Amino acid sequence: MSAITKQNYRGAYHFSPQAKWMNDPNGMVYFEGEYHLFFQHHPGGMTMGAMHWGHAVSKDLVTWEELDVALAPDELGMIFSGSAVVDWKNTTGFFEDKPGLVAIFTHHLDMPEGKPAVQRQSLAYSKDNGRTWTKYAGNPVLEHDAFIDFRDPKVFWNQETNEWVMIVACGQTVGLYHSPDLIHWTHASEFGEGIGSHDGVWECPDLFPLAVDGDKSNTQWVMLVSIGADPACVEGSRTQYFTGDFDGKVFTPDEESRNIRWLDYGRDNYAGVSWSDVPEEDGRRLFLGWMSNWMYASQTPAEEFRGAMTLPRELYLESREGRILLVQKPAQELEAARLPVLSLKDVSVQEINASLANLQLQSYEIVAKLTRGMSAGFKVRTGAGEQTVIGIDAKTQELYVDRQASGQHDFHEWFAGRHSVELEAPGEIDDLRIYVDRTSVEVFGNRGQAVITDLIFPKPESAGLAVFADNEEILFISLDVYNLSLPAANGDNQYSEG
Ligand code: FRU
């Protein structure tokens, strides 16, 4: 692959396509040592268009290799979002000697003017670790005569009932189906009426069990539902979650699910779902989302490609003060990419800023511990007139990201803003883990309960970093900064100002 220059917008350690448009992650599955990441891709343009599945693989969740496009439109339509699984037991009959991958996706067929598009679920399979795909001759395998929006099937093997389960978005609800073979599907139930946010169309659901506090005898089910951007809604598109019980057919939400809860309180983590078939001995529920927002996704500053994914994250359920919280942590593999820059203990704001004064960094990680009760934080990607402020407000008990002066923002009137999340059941220490890259910040606070993912578009030379606090004498318990420039990490992801 040739070296790409002028890619000011390409993250050093976030996945982006080599060229053109990308939105949702699709078909995330682990198989034979590789994490597969397929994605909504328009290889012919910088905005959404004829949707394909692009494809990338990673062995370590940090570096990605982009492969050929996996699925292209055909007579049944474009290839919209969906999932992939390993058919270990050859329930489909597609495989002979060894298990292979099956993709379950939405075929989206545009109809003549005035008629709504038709969305149906289809299959494709691969016998060579996702390198080449055959579409199933009997497609589509699932259609609906009432729903216009009927898409984004996420499928998993239910060990209790020995069958496949599909969760699929149906306009303002999700449908649950089951199947012995991925080909014949039976409707089981519908979920979503009268619960959750209905500010936009329901999309890209996911459903999986998680052990509470790691205790496998106490498992709860988590449902993710992304909702599309409504022009009246300043937040744009975002992802909500529900917790509850699932008996193989019906999802029963718990009391907590009566409140609307968001996976991420920033603006740029959408359509995320979890990886299928992560080995049991690993046991993690790994997640990644599209780092953009339908409100302005087609207008963000871009050159040659448009779109990036969030970092891969691990999802947990943790009980704190009698409540069960969905918690996110960056995948631990990212720690292997750290290049230590600074490590300080028990230092004042003044001392830290003296150490940071000469640093110029674009792509890095900050790990900080602060005594609770102070308002403090970081100014990242600072330069002439530019800064992104990330902090904890002790009065309001909030974590926030303020991107009002972060850089280019006038491509959409609602891009600039301050986004915050309440710190729930906080401990004695305020911990902050911040990932800064060329066009993004991902902030994990309060042991992963408070998460904010935001795009930013600073000038490349806005590479300063500073801390602030309501009292300059204040001590940070510790502060570590790691460079994550990963010069050779993402294929050709080097930045050059050429
Ligand atoms: C979510 C979404 C999906 C759809 C895909 C099309 O971002 O709208 O519902 O399948 O994008 O690219």
Mean pLDDT value of segment 394-414: 97
- For residue 490, being part of any structural domain is answered with no
Q: Which ligand 1 atom is nearest residue 149's CA? A: 9
Q: How confident is the model at residue 485 (pLDDT cuts 50, 70, 90)?
A: confident
Query: What pLDDT is stored for residue 57 in this prediction?
Result: 98
Residue 22: CB within 6 Å of ligand 1?
no
Residue 23: CB within 6 Å of ligand 1?
yes
Mean pLDDT value of segment 28-45: 98
CA of residue 113 to ligand 1 center, whole Å: 21
Query: What pLDDT is stored for residue 495 in this prediction?
Result: 36
* pLDDT tens-place string over residues 254-286: 999 999 999 999 999 999 999 999 999 999 999
CA of residue 390 to ligand 1 center, whole Å: 30
d(CA 68, CA 59): 17
Query: Among 417, 400, 408, which Cα is nearest to 383's?
Result: 408
Task: Give how far Cα 213 sits from Cα of 13, 286, 432, 476, Å.
Answer: 30, 16, 21, 29
Q: Is residue 497 pLDDT above 50, yes or no? A: no
Which of 118, 168, 204, 294 has most ligand 1 atoms within 8 Å of CB, for mutation? Answer: 204
Residue of the nearest CA to atom 8 in ligand 1?
203
* pLDDT tens-place string over residues 214-228: 999 999 999 999 999
Q: Is residue 445 pLDDT above 80, yes or no? A: yes
Question: What is the amino acid identity at position 272?
Answer: G
d(CA 290, CA 346): 37
- For residue 466, being part of any structural domain is answered with yes
* pLDDT tens-place string over residues 332-359: 999 999 999 999 999 999 999 999 999 9
Least confident of 170-184, 235-249, 464-478: 464-478
Number of folded domains that form the chain: 2
Question: Coil, strand or helix: which one is 391?
Answer: strand
Distance, CA of 421 to chain centre: 18
Query: What pLDDT is stored for residue 473 in this prediction?
Result: 80
Mean pLDDT value of segment 420-449: 97
CA of residue 268 to ligand 1 center, whole Å: 15
Cα-trace Rg, the chain? 22
As a whole number, the mean pLDDT across the chain is 95
Q: What percent of the chain has pLDDT over 90?
A: 92
Q: CB of 495 within 8 A of CB of 387?
A: no
- For residue 2, being part of any structural domain is answered with no
Claim to verify: residue 356 and residue 289 sit in the same structural domain: no
Q: Which ligand 1 atom is nearest residue 81's CA? A: 10
108: CB partners within 8 A, 6+ apart: 51, 77, 78, 79, 80, 117, 118, 119, 151
Question: Which residue carries 């992304």 as its tokens?
Answer: 226
Query: What pLDDT is stored for residue 472 in this prediction?
Result: 77
Claim to verify: residue 208 and residue 274 sit in the same structural domain: yes
CATH assignment at residue 477? 2.60.120.560
Residue 204: CB within 6 Å of ligand 1?
yes
Residue 51: CB within 6 Å of ligand 1?
yes
- DSSP code for 257: G
CA of residue 365 to ligand 1 center, whole Å: 31
Task: Give how far Cα 32 sits from Cα of 38, 297, 312, Å.
Answer: 16, 34, 19
d(CA 93, CA 453): 42
**Active-site annotation, residues:** 24
* pLDDT tens-place string over residues 130-176: 999 999 999 999 999 999 999 999 999 999 999 999 999 999 999 99
Q: Is residue 229 pLDDT above 50, yes or no? A: yes
- For residue 104, being part of any structural domain is answered with yes
d(CA 435, CA 482): 10
Q: Which ligand 1 atom is nearest residue 51's CA? A: 12
- For residue 10, being part of any structural domain is answered with no
Q: Distance between the two ends of the chain, CA-based, in angstroms?
A: 18
Q: How confident is the model at residue 56 (pLDDT cuts 50, 70, 90)?
A: very high
Claim to verify: residue 284 and residue 343 sit in the same structural domain: no
Q: Which ligand 1 atom is nearest residue 290's CA? A: 7
Claim to verify: residue 285 and residue 428 sit in the same structural domain: no
Q: Which residue has the higher pLDDT, 490 or 19?
A: 19
Query: Among 86, 88, 80, 90, which Cα is nearest to 102's?
Result: 86
- For residue 12, being part of any structural domain is answered with no
Claim to verify: residue 146 and residue 287 sit in the same structural domain: yes
Q: CB of 14 within 8 A of CB of 291?
A: yes
Mean pLDDT value of segment 11-34: 97
Mean pLDDT value of segment 14-36: 98
* pLDDT tens-place string over residues 61-90: 999 999 999 999 999 999 999 999 999 999
Helices (H) and strands (E) in the chain, counts: 1, 32
Q: CB of 121 within 8 A of CB of 128?
A: no
Claim to verify: residue 300 and residue 157 sit in the same structural domain: yes
Residue 106: CB within 6 Å of ligand 1?
yes
Which of 48, 81, 149 has most ligand 1 atoms within 8 Å of CB, for mutation? Answer: 81
Query: What pLDDT is stored for residue 474 in this prediction?
Result: 83
Q: Which of 307, 328, 348 is the last residue of a domain?
A: 307
d(CA 355, CA 487): 24
CA of residue 80 to ligand 1 center, whole Å: 6
- For residue 315, being part of any structural domain is answered with no
Claim to verify: residue 177 and residue 39 sit in the same structural domain: yes
Label residues 456-477 b or e (16+ Cβ within 10 Å = b): bbbeeebbbbbbbbeeeebbbe
Query: What pLDDT is stored for residue 498 in this prediction?
Result: 28
Give me the torsion for CA of 274, 207, 137, 65, rounded to 10°. 0
Claim to verify: residue 286 and residue 344 sit in the same structural domain: no
Q: Structural domain of residue 273, as residue ranges?
A: 20-307
Q: Is residue 16 pLDDT above 50, yes or no? A: yes
CA of residue 218 to ligand 1 center, whole Å: 34
Claim to verify: residue 295 and residue 383 sit in the same structural domain: no
Angle among Cα 293, 208, 92 to the nearest 5 degrees reads 100
Query: What pLDDT is stored for residue 14 in this prediction?
Result: 96
Q: Which ligand 1 atom is nearest residue 294's CA? A: 7
Residue 315: CB within 6 Å of ligand 1?
no
d(CA 347, CA 477): 7
Residue 149: CB within 6 Å of ligand 1?
no
Question: Coil, strand or helix: which one is 172?
Answer: coil
Q: How confident is the model at residue 39 (pLDDT cuts 50, 70, 90)?
A: very high
Query: What pLDDT is stored for residue 7 in this prediction?
Result: 53
* 118-126 and 101-109 beta bridge pairing: antiparallel
Q: Is residue 493 pLDDT above 50, yes or no? A: no
Residue of the nearest CA to atom 9 in ligand 1?
203
Query: Token pair for residue 78?
Result: 């474009």
Claim to verify: residue 363 and residue 286 sit in the same structural domain: no
Mean pLDDT value of segment 21-44: 98
Q: Is residue 5 pLDDT above 70, yes or no? A: no
- DSSP code for 350: H
Query: What pLDDT is stored for residue 487 in this prediction?
Result: 55
- Residue 403, CB half-sphere, CA atoms under 13 Å: how many? 28
Claim to verify: residue 199 and residue 302 sit in the same structural domain: yes
Angle among Cα 135, 138, 139 to the nearest 5 degrees reads 60
Query: What pLDDT is stored for residue 317 in this prediction?
Result: 98
Q: Is residue 490 pLDDT above 60, yes or no? A: no
CA of residue 376 to ligand 1 center, whole Å: 38
Residue 80: CB within 6 Å of ligand 1?
yes
Claim to verify: residue 340 and residue 303 sit in the same structural domain: no
- For residue 492, being part of any structural domain is answered with no
* pLDDT tens-place string over residues 303-318: 999 999 999 999 999 9
Question: Which residue carries 């058919």 as its tokens?
Answer: 87
